[in-house]
């Protein structure tokens, strides 16, 4: 390859016998080849990068400080509703009592919240039957009720009655501070 490049060089003072010049041409040709590969590779690599808006949705931070006890905020995350609920002591107590019930999808209440943060429940707000959005305060377990086909969840978001097979999902999340969580 170097000979071809040297032969094409219009500079009459440079010949293929000049070792320094030849090395330079070798290096230059190598760099050009790498540049070509790089140029070809980039569009493929670039396509593999998630778009900025996808990255933005991958995780969200949420400020809990304005959610009072007994309140729930619905946050959109990855196209789904998330329930962020500040549970009252009564709701927590009922959820702990539910640990001893015959649960369809067994899970303790403690396993569904972060240690020492029993009041905060973060759940994916779609019914595990067919994906409707349940409402809080309906049904006989004091938690969520899905009006679509009558699934009833308790104050831990566990399925207690109706056709839904699973508890409301707990997404991956972490406390960044006492008042801030990162979800996703």
Q: Of these, 118, 141, 162, 181, which contacts ligand FES (CB under 6 A)?
A: 162
DSSP 10-75: --TT--TT-HHHHHHHHHHHHHHHHHHHHHHHHHHHHHHSPPHHHHHHH-EEEE-TT--TT-EEEE
How far apart CA 85 and CA 117 sit, in angstroms, is: 11
The verdict on 129 binding ligand FES (CB under 6 A) reads yes
Choice between 111 and 135, CB closer to ligand FES: 135
Instruction: Kindly state the smallest distance separating residue 182's Cβ from ligand FES, in Å.
Output: 28
Pick the binder of ligand FES from 84, 122, 127, 168 (CB under 6 A): 127
Is residue 161 a contact partner of residue 139, using CB atoms and an 8 Å limit?
A: yes
Helix (H, G, I), strand (E, B) or coil at 124: strand
Question: Among residues 117 and 166, whose Cβ is nearest to ligand FES?
Answer: 166
Options 96, 132, 169, 184; binder of ligand FES; rule CB under 6 A: 132
Two structure tokens written together for 67: 């959610």
Instruction: Tell me whether residue 125 or residue 142 sits nearer to ligand FES (CB atom).
Output: 125
Residues marked active site are found at: 149
Binding footprint of ligand FES on the chain (CB under 6 A): 127, 129-132, 146, 148-151, 162-164
């Amino acid at each position: 390859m170097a000979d071809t490049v040297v032969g094409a060089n219009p500079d009459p003072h440079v010949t293929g016998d000049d070792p320094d010049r030849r090395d330079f041409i070798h290096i230059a040709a190598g760099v050009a080849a790498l540049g070509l590969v790089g140029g070809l590779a980039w569009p493929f690599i670039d396509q593999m990068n998630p778009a900025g808006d996808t990255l933005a949705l991958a995780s969200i931070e949420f400020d809990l400080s304005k959610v009072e006890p007994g309140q729930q905020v619905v946050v959109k995350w990855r196209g789904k509703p998330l329930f962020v609920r500040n549970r009252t002591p009564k709701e927590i107590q009922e959820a702990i009592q539910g640990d001893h019930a015959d649960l369809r999808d067994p899970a303790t209440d403690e396993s569904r919240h972060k240690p020492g943060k029993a009041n905060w429940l973060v759940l994916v707000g779609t019914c595990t039957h067919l994906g409707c959005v349940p409402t809080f305060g309906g049904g006989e377990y004091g938690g969520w009720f899905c009006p679509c086909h009558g699934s009833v969840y308790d104050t831990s978001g566990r399925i207690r009655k109706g056709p839904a097979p699973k508890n409301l999902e707990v997404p991956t999340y972490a406390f960044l501070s006492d008042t801030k969580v990162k979800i996703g």
